[in-house]
Amino acid sequence: MQIGIRSFALSAVHPESESAVKELYLHSWFLTTKEHFHEFLSSRRSVQSQDGTQDSEPERKRMKMEEECDLKEKRKENKKMFRGQNKSRPRVKPHSYEEKRLCPSIVQERDTGCSFGDKCRFLHDVGEYMLSKAADLGDRCPLFSSQGKCPYGVTCRFARAHTSAEMKNLVNEEVFRASSGQESVRNLLDKDLQRRLRKKSEDFPRTQEFLQSIRPEKKIQTAGPEEKLLEHDAGAGGDAQNGATPPGKTVGPITDDDIIKLRPCEKKQVDFRDKLYLAPLTTVGNLPFRRVCKLLGADITCGEMAVCTNLLQGQASEWALLKRHCSEDLFGVQVDFVDINSGCPIDLVYKKGGGCGLMTRTNKFEQIVRGMNSVLDVPLTVKIRTGVQQNTNIAHKLIPEMKKWGVSLITLHGRSREQRYTKSADWDYIDSCARLAAPVPLFGNGDILTYEDAVKARETEVSGVMLGRGALIKPWLFTEIKENRHWDISSGERLDILRDFTNFGLEHWGSDTQGVEKTRNFLLEWLSFLCRYIPVGLLERVPQKINERPPFYMGRDYMETLMASQHVDDWIQISEMLLGPVPKNFSFLPKHKANSYK
């Protein structure tokens, strides 16, 4: 197979590709043209369809592709449509990928039955549901294997692994007993807390104390009407007559922690030095991806950026970003440390004064940092960029102030907000800022794709490195850095990493059809980064640079060539190898337009 692909590539080398060979040091016999590349993959797909090894594309998907072809000329008229985020992509996802859904009371085998009775809009006949259910994906259910019981019962896409002939859910008692006492996922939103947050009845005494100290002329009230009435009644009693302030509402016995404020030196300490830090990544930095990175050598992980306003409103979708797997032994957001992401360049966040906007609002920034420090008993870290404008660095002015505010760690991305991820990160500036930050540790971030990049970064005064896009393109980068080597990873090993991700995704999002398709969506978002990797064995000289868009090339086998494709249909084909055929009403557009060109 390798010989055939190499001969195909040799015949397809384009004369204009010589500059790419010199720039990327890619062996010339692997290079090909865009047309020959897609022709090869299309011919392979057509052969698979004729053999019956792969289902044909759903009708809606073919219609969508035809519509995209009709819009091709309009898109050419406005080149800006191919830049930035895909903001015009459809936001509405199908509520269900199943025509008929089974009632949760039947799935969970409740003895009480369905509380809605005849008014229930779901099916109650398991036999009727099984006639319309999509085919199972395999004989091994990730949830049943790890927990001893699958909560999705007959709706699980691996149901035959844990259902009897009577369609009853089976339990592996030994595994279930061993896992029942373990908490695999932490930071879950308690329903009572969610109700109190939504009703604004949750009391934050430490926050009230700090806000009162910076705004003494205003009386801060967050308690509900019933608590205010109780406070008024208590004020009219004996305590008020003695001039004493009535105590606030408390739950349980009062401890020393409620009365005595911890000094900075008494707070929980975390040793960040010389650790590999996985950056907080929107969408793709989800819990299953972080588990993959932990397996491959990441030391510190951090949850996706969560908006505090949404957290205080009790939004379940925002609280889901804080979930932490038990394998994440050093996790940012909650428990180990809290990170303020003031380096986020996204317009929606910046225009509201958040993210990079905080860097130009020094007074507000200081109040936030000092306020959080006053109520936290874990370290507080801050992530910033070099500045907002491209040629106006301001990080060196903020760092001495942040030392006074009491931050435990500073992470500096070597680009400004205007640069986003274009041009090279300024590591000379990161080095000078690291010297300013001492003795507070400063981590550098930007353009690290190989262990050589990490070694060069560590030659500066930084305490460690944070990996963002490099970890998305090649998550085994953590292993390469720790072992000081280039890993010429095979396509089979890369597929095994994707298989681990899908198993973790099914555990996290569910093994029913809804969970399978949610896992698929996040897998496809990740594949839009993975396709940028060029295997080490194909390079005449290493390393690959992170900002160099790879040319079209043929891999050493079909899977390696397929993984190099930058077209969404080929990503869907890879997902079908792991999660089965896509449903008829499935649709996917990557979040970034640059990830969807052909």
- pLDDT tens-digit readout, 101-147: 999 999 988 888 888 888 899 999 999 999 889 999 999 999 999 99
Q: Which residues make Cβ contacts (< 8 Å) with residue 182, sequence separation at least 6?
A: 326
3-state helix, strand, coil in the chain (%, to 5): 50, 10, 45
- Considering only residues 254 and 163, tell me which one the structure prediction assigns the higher pLDDT: 163
Q: What percent of the chain has pLDDT over 70?
A: 76
141: which 2 tokens? 């259910």
Q: How far apart are CA 257 and CA 45, in angstroms?
A: 64
The helix (run of H) or strand (run of E) holding residue 467 is: strand 464-467
Kindly report the backbone phi and psi dihedral angles of residue 427, in degrees, each rounded to the nearest multiple of 5, phi listed first.
-75, -20
Q: How far apart are CA 572 and CA 575, in angstroms?
A: 5
CB 523 within 8 A of CB 498: yes
Q: How far apart are CA 173 and CA 165, in angstroms?
A: 19
- Considering only residues 277 and 317, tell me which one the structure prediction assigns the higher pLDDT: 277
3-class state of residue 401 by DSSP: helix
CATH architecture of 275-485: Alpha-Beta Barrel (3.20)
78: which 2 tokens? 């406005």
| Rg of the chain on CA atoms, in Å | 27
Lowest mean pLDDT among 217-226, 238-247, 562-571, 578-587: 238-247
User: Model's pTM, two decimal places?
Assistant: 0.79
What is each CA distance from 59 to 42, 62, 66, 93, 584, in whole angstroms? 18, 5, 11, 17, 7
Map out the domains of the chain as residue ranges: 104-182, 275-485, 488-597
CB 571 within 8 A of CB 472: no
Phi-psi category of residue 510: left, alpha or beta, with phi > 0 → left and psi -120 to 50 → alpha: left
N-term to C-term CA, the chain = 25
Catalytic residue among 302, 344, 433, 531: 344
What confidence tier does 331 reach under pLDDT thresholds 50, 70, 90? Answer: confident
Q: How far apart are CA 598 and CA 263, in angstroms?
A: 57
CB 194 within 8 A of CB 314: yes
Q: How far apart are CA 379 and CA 408, in angstroms?
A: 6
Q: How far apart are CA 25 and CA 303, in angstroms?
A: 36
pLDDT tens profile 402-426? 999 989 999 999 999 888 777 889 9
Kindly report the backbone phi and psi dihedral angles of residue 340, in degrees, each rounded to the nearest multiple of 5, phi listed first.
-95, 115
Q: How far apart are CA 412 and CA 436, in angstroms?
A: 12
Where helices occur in 298-361 by DSSP H, the ranges are 308-312, 316-319, 347-350
In the residue annotation, 344 being an active-site residue is answered as: yes
Q: Which residues make Cβ contacts (< 8 Å) with residue 564, sequence separation at least 6?
A: 531, 534, 550, 552, 553, 555
For residue 582, the 8-state DSSP code is P
CB 462 within 8 A of CB 436: no
pLDDT at 18: 39
246: which 2 tokens? 């009535």
Side-chain-side CA neighbours of 215 within 13 Å: the count stands at 10
Lowest mean pLDDT among 205-214, 376-385, 469-478: 205-214
User: Average pLDDT in the 171-183 region?
Assistant: 86
User: Average pLDDT in the 332-358 region?
Assistant: 79
pLDDT at 237: 43
pLDDT tens profile 569-581? 899 999 999 999 9
Q: How far apart are CA 383 and CA 411, in angstroms?
A: 5
